[in-house]
Amino acid sequence: MSLKINREQLVMTAVQGSVAPAHQWAPFEVGAAGEIIAWPSTGGITYNVKVGDSVFGWAGEHIEPGVSATLTHKNRKCEAGFQFLSCCGNEVRVISGAAKGETGKVLGHHGGVEHLMLQFPDEILDKLTCDDKFLVKGYGQGLKLLDYPGVHIYNTDPDLFTAWGLKETADGKIEVPVHVMVPGHAMGSGIGALSVTTGDYDILCHDEETVREYGLDKLRFGDFVAVLDHDNVYGRTYRKGSITIGVVIHSDSPLGGHGPGMMTLMSATGGEIVPVLSDDANMGAVLGIGRFA
């Protein structure tokens, strides 16, 4: 029996954005180990970084796969609607230029820079320019599990949610496929943010022992992950026994307090969510995009 959701009550709203300029934050930056770097970072159209790739090993930091989009770069701090209404798995359509009419999928949103990451096949990426515009069918905010009021869902397209592979257990819990389980003490930048419907927060991977113990080195763009003892119901905070499920949206970073970014998808404080490890727990694998195409 499939989980019952309130699909008929969800509102679908068009939101429009354009390519966010590639950004250099400083001439040089200093990593947590004292290393000096001058690397690519956020923004632009990134051709060779895909959903399904490792978030590690790039000569870059906070790298956003595919197309980084904003409502307007100048006023990006005021564009909560563009991020808020755009959910993981939503359809996005190119509405200008040589690729006009082509479609892709939303990966997720990145706080601070207020970027939305859009995923397209290579043949479409090659036609895009930094002047192009995109229309997202924003669909998913307000999604609920009708029989599990203690499970809060954010930023998730209902079709992706249905195809994800969640299962009810005999004792009234929900098994959620994830690729990695992250300990609560390994979460950094973004903790304390009030809204979980825009932005993300970072998984800290600077402690080698923690990375080995929890297999954090397996993290890929698009992975579904579980954060243990973290409550994202009304903001991001530590709460013992809570579980938060998210999707990985940007690469690792050497900067102190930063690491691979994770956008919130689900959270519960009452033990309703049971994360289950799976190699296929990635939004790209579910939708057949990126390295899974």
Q: How many residues does the chain have?
A: 293
Residue partners of 105: CB distance under 8 A and separation at least 6: 89, 90, 91, 92, 118, 119, 283, 287, 289
At residue 150, the pLDDT reads 98
Residues of the chain under the 70 pLDDT cut = 1, 72-79
263/267 Cα distance (integer angstroms) = 12
- State the pLDDT at residue 23: 87
Identify the structural domains of the chain with CATH numbers, from first to last. 10-139 (2.40.10.170), 152-285 (2.102.30.10)
59-87: per-residue pLDDT in tens? Answer: 999 999 999 999 865 655 555 789 999 99
pTM for the whole structure: 0.97
- What pLDDT was estimated at residue 4? 97
What are the residues facing 70 on neighbouring strands?
A: 18
| pLDDT digits 0-9 by tens, 161-199 | 999 999 999 999 999 999 999 999 999 999 999 889 999
